[in-house]
Amino acid sequence: KRLPIADPIRTSEILHHYHLQAKKSLGQNFLTNPAVINSIVTTAEIAPGDQVIEVGPGIGALTEQILAQGAKLLAYEIDGKLIEVLTNELPADAQIKILHQDVLQTDFNKDFEGYFDPTKPVKVVANLPYYITTPIIFRFLESGIPLESLTVMMQKEVADRIEAQPGKKDFGPLSIAVQLDMESHIALNVPPSSFTPAPKVDSAVVQIVRKAQPIRLPNKDLFNKIVKVSFAQRRKTIYNNLKHLVGQELQTIDDLHELLRAAAIAENRRAEQLSIADYLKLTELVDAK
Ligand code: SAM
């Protein structure tokens, strides 16, 4: 029986055989700890037939174990050199569609055609490329696909931002975007030694699951804009940041005073001290204007 791809011996054989060197610019840190991979797959609760998306399969360490659960897998890999490796090293009968694509550019609905049932839920399972962790998470949250959960390895610092509650310095647009529709927890902390090459930062596997009752949000674009403007300059007060809405969503500076009064938000508060409920209230009031 062959060693799993994640076994350090098998990984180094593959890297050697295909003359590969991990590309730093593409965030290539390959997992070489089978126990961590088991734990990702267990956390994701993959059942046979589940529709799973993997971002950046690399040489297939995690891919192999997702497939072993009987998942139907759609994988995006930007590095063309790795496509050949994946094709050769993964089982020939695997239920996998590998796309040589940038996950930030791709059209999910088109990629699903003739492969995924668009009415059934999708799980994302990945060891993410860290240079684009935040944009990838935003992309999936805003994609409109029937996203059930994300089970993703990321740098610890971003995991902390996802989890952060109002009043904490890490609380920001990412925390709000995730917490609006999803619940999350850190499933596992992972040291640099679990990867080849070892990243310079600590990592964590975060489990993000859609809430049973997501918050109803009639004007999501406006909500996103208000959050973005509020956090534009963190050291400024909410009043000073929201001034940028005057001449746009708000007509006069008096409208801004009135808005904050109606929402019961003191003008000298800062964006990270407001709750998601406060941002919802602001959106509702601006929208009603
Ligand atoms: N899944 C493998 C593992 O766990 O060993 C590799 C993970 S490595 C941290 C990140 C992977 O994402 C690399 O294979 C890299 O080439 C790929 N990648 C980087 N940017 C990407 C992008 N924009 N779209 C798709 N894949 C990307």
Residues 88-117 pLDDT 10s: 999 999 999 999 999 999 999 999 999 999
Q: Residue 55's pLDDT is what?
A: 98
Q: Which residues line ligand 1 (CB under 6 A)?
A: 26-31, 55-58, 61-62, 76-79, 82, 102-104, 127, 129, 132
**Ligand 1 centroid from CA 119, angstroms:** 27
Contacts of 138 (CB under 8 A, 6+ apart): 174, 177
Distance (Å, whole) CA 163 – CA 170: 9
Q: Which residues pair with 205 in a beta bridge?
A: 153, 188
**pLDDT digit string (tens) for 223-245?**
999 999 999 999 999 999 999 99
Q: Which atom of ligand 1 is nearest to the CA of 32?
A: 5
| pLDDT mean over 9-13 | 97
Q: Nearest 5°: phi and psi at 208?
A: -120, 120
Q: Residue 218's pLDDT is what?
A: 83
Pocket test for ligand 1, best of 30, 62, 133, 137 (most atoms within 8 A of CB): 30
**Ligand 1 centroid from CA 266, angstroms:** 44
Distance (Å, whole) CA 198 – CA 6: 14
Rounded to two decimals, the pTM is: 0.96
Q: Residue 216's pLDDT is what?
A: 81
| pLDDT mean over 174-181 | 96
Banded pLDDT at 217 (limits 50, 70, 90): confident
Cα end-to-end distance, the chain, whole Å: 67
Q: Are 110 and 135 in contact (CB under 8 A)?
A: no
**pLDDT digit string (tens) for 29-68?**
999 999 999 999 999 999 999 999 999 999 999 999 999 9
**pLDDT digit string (tens) for 14-23?**
999 999 999 9
Q: Where are the alpha helices (DSSP H) in 69-132?
A: 80-89, 108-112
